[in-house]
Structure 1
Amino acid sequence: MFWKIVVVLLIGFLAWAYQALCPPSPRICGSRGGPVVEAPRIKLRDGRHLAYKELGVPKERAKYKIILSHAFGSSRHEVSIATSEVVEKLGIHFVCFDRPGYGQSDPNPKRTIKSTALDIEELADQLELGSKFYIIGISMGGQVLWGCLKYIPHRLAGAALIAPVVNYWWSGFPSNLSTEVYNQQFVADQWALRVAHHAPWLLYWWNTQKWFPSSSVEAERPNITAPDLKVLSKVAHRLNTREYATQQGIYESLHRDMKVAFGKWEFSPMDLDNSFSDGQGSVHLWHGIEDGIVPVTLQRYIVQKLPWIKYHELPDAGHLFIYGDSSIQDEVLNSLLTE
């Protein structure tokens, strides 16, 4: 009788563990019970759909075409830079897209840094943006740009990384430096990143359980500094797109982002060669000194290793600087397109 009870309890525990570890199936847009498809979308080679939004001057008379890669928990509606006063002056056409699993873009269970770069190339081809285009990536969307510089550099006319997220396990970082900066993060984030890197199969459970604190960014409790509080006081209503961004499920959007961003990469950005050594194009990296989410220390090391990147360090600026100051938005676009 004792062993029967033990077996029943064990089976019950295993059933609970399986259910806790396995994320629910995503609510695919356009499927029965899933969100309605409203955005224009392209169909990729593998059958997935990518939702996008076009802004700025009409493509037919645009001098510059820019693809925008949005941040963690955001979407194709992250368009503040596309409303800059210089857009009309310079003749810029923007394409903002929902990254896979976000908004109305189909999830990609096999998503990698490389696969998203190839999605961007296909998006540019189907929308007829030309043989070369510019790309801007914000925060987590900045990591996508490293993939573009690695896998489709021949398609880029230039790139701008805005406060790009750093993977602490990239080869090239001195172990003492990455460890020192890693230990400056919230303890909850240290554990969440460890899980994402070493045990990604456990990430859904870790970010949804109630026993231990999970990722502060995923839980919308990040380390917000004074400059970011100032930005939020002005534009918080515009940045609140989380419900739309995660409507297909948090696993294929937020959690998949973490697994890709902090997992094991096929390359290190610090090993990249200059794709614009002929002077036809440039790469820019913008970062605020008061960024409480992505430490500026590691960005400084990256640009030391890659001196061909034009580095712009902003005093009295946090992680959200691109949303709060139109003059900085103008400067980002002018430096990318006209320098």
Structure 2
Amino acid sequence: MAVPPARRISAASARAHTRKKKQSNSFCSPGLIRKTLAILVVGLVAWLYQSIQPPAPKICGSLNGPPVTSSRIKLKDGRHLAYIESGVQKEKAKYKIVFIHGLDCCKDNVFPFSQEVLEELEVYLLSFDRAGYGESDPNPHQTVKSLALDIEELAEQLKLGSKFHVIGFSLGGELVWSCLRYIPHRLAGVAIVAPIANYWWPNFPANVSNEAYAQLLPQDQWALRVAHYAPWLTYWWNTQKWFPASSALAHRSDHLDAKDKEVLLLARNRYSEKVRQQGEFVSVHQDLIISHGNWEFDPMGLANPFPGNEGSVHLWHGALDALAPVSLTRYIAKHLPWIRYHELPDAGHLFPLADGMSDAILKALLV
């Protein structure tokens, strides 16, 4: 018996409806939802991991890397350190000085010592690119101690003699403490100029470090928190575009005092293209991590390296310094009475670049 057309259509519709219902149920099934969420989470994690990883450095002298244009030595671990020499000839020098540059600088950013004073005092001056900067190879295992050992090996290979002087500026000034800790037997004298301090050094009372920390720009407070507590986020934090990163790395200057702004206009960094040419992470970001990480020692626990007054340690700071609050340096000087402290009431962070100041620092150290 033939099925009426109306019933045939009704049966076909029922079968189609059943298929659609099954498909709808399969799309909303708990198993599929879990798989979809898992794929999204894995993709998000992969994206986040990729975004926080710094790119591989472009090593000077390597394929597609920047060219080597400076004199360099090869260290025991195979790395190279680039350096420049100035002043009088090393063989005729009465004093040999190693200069340590600061954050986002290179070996060419030496204090503007006058040639006349260098010759008068018979000074040989050696400046070098710290690891990862300029034309010095990055050090993936860099520590506070490794910087001091790099200086010792550099002095050894260049035959500076058993003892030499060290001058460090800004973050380079902070790193001079490592020389006092690890190679005091090689030092003839030290000048620490406008040093950055580590707010997490344990011998700072909480009220002292907190008060100084509060003087920083909010963006710098966050940049240093990240460098200290989550160093693996440092590259991402200082390269993302969602909110302000470190003001120093962004070359922000509106918060500096009037004299610093004036000096900055006259002393623009002509070598800025060289500074980060091997990569931002192996230079400036690694500096932030090391300078504000957990140190193996506290400078306020150091002993006098010159108990017989055979040398001296000079500490210089401007009272109007907006980058390195002077209160921390005052506290260090108070608790290390063997330090000769010089505070300039009307000076900011860049006072050594002002006319005549670098020569004054040099004469105080040597004469």
Does TM, normalized by the shorter one, top 0.5? yes
Kept in 2, the 8 Å contact 1:73–1:241? The answer is no
Supply the distance in 2 between the matched residues of 1:315 and 1:180 (Cα, whole angstroms).
Answer: 19
Aligned counterpart for 1:85 among listed residues 116, 138, 150: 116
Kept in 1, the 8 Å contact 2:194–2:317? The answer is yes
Shift of 1:116: 0.6
Supply the distance in 2 between the matched residues of 1:206 and 1:33 (Cα, whole angstroms).
Answer: 27
Q: TM-score, normalised by structure 1?
A: 0.96
Secondary structure of residue in 1 paired with 2:285: helix
Aligned to 1:76: 107
Report which of the two structures shows the higher radius of gyration computed on alpha carbons: 2
Supply the distance in 2 between the matched residues of 1:81 and 1:262 (Cα, whole angstroms).
Answer: 28
Aligned to 1:336: 365
**2:166 is equivalent to residue 135 of structure 1:** yes
Q: TM-score, normalised by structure 2?
A: 0.89
Aligned to 1:227: 259
**2:94 is equivalent to residue 63 of structure 1:** yes
Aligned to 2:197: 166
Secondary structure of residue in 1 paired with 2:112: helix
Kept in 2, the 8 Å contact 1:50–1:99? The answer is yes
For structure 1, the residue ranges without an aligned partner over 5 or more in a row are: none
**2:254 is equivalent to residue 254 of structure 1:** no
1:51-87 superposed Cα distances (whole Å, 9 cap, x missing partner): 0000000101111000000011000101233445310
Supply the distance in 1 between the matched residues of 2:251 and 2:140 (Cα, whole angstroms).
Answer: 24
Following superposition, which runs of at least 4 residues in structure 1 exceed 2 angstroms of deviation?
A: 1-5, 79-85, 239-242
Kept in 2, the 8 Å contact 1:75–1:103? The answer is yes
Supply the distance in 2 between the matched residues of 1:315 and 1:169 (Cα, whole angstroms).
Answer: 26
Supply the distance in 2 between the matched residues of 1:133 and 1:329 (Cα, whole angstroms).
Answer: 18
Secondary structure of residue in 2 paired with 1:220: coil
Supply the distance in 2 between the matched residues of 1:309 and 1:97 (Cα, whole angstroms).
Answer: 26
Kept in 1, the 8 Å contact 2:87–2:115? The answer is no
Paired AA for residue 229 in structure 1: K
Secondary structure of residue in 2 paired with 1:6: helix
Supply the distance in 1 between the matched residues of 2:128 and 2:319 (Cα, whole angstroms).
Answer: 28
Shift of 1:233: 2.5
Aligned to 1:109: 140
Shift of 1:21: 1.2
Paired AA for residue 277 in structure 2: Q
User: Among the aligned pairs, what percent are the same residue?
Assistant: 55
Aligned to 1:313: 343
Kept in 1, the 8 Å contact 2:304–2:338? The answer is yes
**2:285 is equivalent to residue 285 of structure 1:** no
Aligned counterpart for 1:216 among listed residues 219, 223, 247: 247
Supply the distance in 2 between the matched residues of 1:15 and 1:83 (Cα, whole angstroms).
Answer: 54
Kept in 1, the 8 Å contact 2:166–2:189? The answer is yes
Aligned to 2:186: 155
Paired AA for residue 169 in structure 1: W
Aligned counterpart for 2:70 among listed residues 11, 32, 39: 39
Supply the distance in 2 between the matched residues of 1:254 and 1:60 (Cα, whole angstroms).
Answer: 35
Supply the distance in 1 between the matched residues of 2:347 and 2:115 (Cα, whole angstroms).
Answer: 19
**2:165 is equivalent to residue 96 of structure 1:** no
Supply the distance in 1 between the matched residues of 2:119 and 2:204 (Cα, whole angstroms).
Answer: 41
Report the RMSD for the aligned CA atoms in angstroms: 1.1
Kept in 1, the 8 Å contact 2:315–2:341? The answer is yes
Shift of 1:277: 1.1
**2:187 is equivalent to residue 187 of structure 1:** no
Shift of 1:219: 1.3
Supply the distance in 1 between the matched residues of 2:302 and 2:38 (Cα, whole angstroms).
Answer: 54
